[in-house]
Amino acid sequence: MTLNLRKLLLLTFMLVCCSPAVFCQAVISPLELTYKQVDTVQLGLKIFYPPGHKKGEHHPTIVFFFGGGWNGGSVSQFEPHALHFAAKNMITVLVDYRVKTKHNTSPFECVKDAKSAIRYLRQHAEALGIDANKIVASGGSAGGHLAAACFTNESLNESSDDLTISSKPNALVLFNPVIDNGKDGYGFERVGENYVTFSPIHNIQKGFPPTIFFLGTKDKLIPVATAEMFKKKIEQVGGRCELFLSEDQPHGFFNKEPFLSETIAKTDVFLLSLNYIK
């Protein structure tokens, strides 16, 4: 996303949704917190509040994990989404997590961090104004994997986490997510036989949260057939999965227009059906 487009989004958000005072608090200066420290590494959250948020209110919350193959990426990827859904009366959270290029970590640490972030938000829900029973996990590519794995993965947990606090989201918004880490899927060479517990599609269970899934039909990393099987497995256990396919679009298509607006609009409808947005 270009700098000019970011500025336009910020200005539109301010003019349509906010008074100047609220704009400065909600957009220019989001609440920044450290949710976890590992050795000398501090991992942070950027939390955006709805316009006019008042102390004592509790809002549905959507948590975004950036993509980058568990190797890199930036929390700024989902800033347009964070601004949009904050305007829709949700608390929105951008999560930083450890990646290979910065911290020399594996995909397993990424999952641990994602689960730690959800637990932190639940643990501090009262102080942060979060409805702990309405937490949505979202992400793109490897970030989509993390969002889903917060529900499907039972085995990877940071030793410092309070495991009595659930890391499982109440709904999922997935943008071309990595859901199959099996021998024919993405990332098997890095996770090996641990795919049995690491791979979301291999760990779908009853109670799976309502899910919306966006994918381009020309995605070379996530086949359409894999997405369709994911949807089928969720429905077989009584769950809900809405799959939207964008014709002839590659991996990461949702980051650019017109697909950025289109996927956000469809997410609006999905979240409205759950009574998570106004």
Instruction: Report if residue 2 sits inside a domain.
Output: no
**Distance in Å from the first CA to the final CA of the chain:** 27
Boundaries of domain holding 251: 31-273
Residue 278 is predicted with a pLDDT of 79
Instruction: Report if residue 4 sits inside a domain.
Output: no
pLDDT digits (tens, 9 = 90+) for 68-96: 999 999 999 999 999 999 999 999 999 99
Segment 134-156 mean pLDDT: 98
pLDDT digits (tens, 9 = 90+) for 86-129: 999 999 999 999 999 999 999 999 999 999 999 999 999 999 99
Residue 100 is predicted with a pLDDT of 96
> CA 100 to CA 263: how far, in whole Å?
29
**Look-up: residue for tokens 């989004």?**
9
CB 143 within 8 A of CB 65: yes
Q: Considering its fold, how many domains does the chain have in total?
A: 1
Segment 150-158 mean pLDDT: 97
> CA 179 to CA 104: how far, in whole Å?
23
Residue 25 is predicted with a pLDDT of 38
Query: What are phi and psi for residue 33, nearest 5 degrees?
Result: -130, 150
Tell me: pLDDT of 23 over 80. Answer: no
Instruction: Report if residue 232 sits inside a domain.
Output: yes
Tell me: pLDDT of 5 over 80. Answer: no
CB 107 within 8 A of CB 190: yes
Instruction: Report if residue 110 sits inside a domain.
Output: yes
Q: pLDDT over 90 for what percent of the chain?
A: 88
Residue 32, Cβ density class (10 Å: 0-12 exposed, 13-18 middle, ≥19 buried): exposed
Q: Provide the whole-model pTM.
A: 0.89
Q: Residue 187 has which token pair?
A: 């990332």
Instruction: Report if residue 225 sits inside a domain.
Output: yes
Tell me: pLDDT of 17 over 90. Answer: no
pLDDT digits (tens, 9 = 90+) for 204-256: 999 999 999 999 999 999 999 999 999 999 999 999 999 999 999 999 999 99
Which ranges constitute the DSSP H helices of the chain? 3-17, 20-23, 79-87, 100-103, 107-123, 125-128, 142-152, 188-191, 195-198, 224-236, 259-273
Q: Which amino acid makes up residue 213?
A: F
Report the CATH number at residue 235: 3.40.50.1820
Instruction: Report if residue 98 sits inside a domain.
Output: yes
In our burial notation (b when 16+ CB lie closer than 10 A, e otherwise), range 219-241 reads bebbbeebbeebbebbeeeebbb
Nearest to 53 by CA among 77, 26, 84: 26
> CA 28 to CA 250: how far, in whole Å?
32
Q: CA 1 → CA 6, 190, 233, 256, distances in Å?
A: 7, 30, 35, 7
CB 183 within 8 A of CB 195: yes
Rounding to the nearest 10 degrees, give the CA dihedral for residues 35, 267, 198, 100: -50
Q: What is the mean pLDDT of the chain?
A: 91
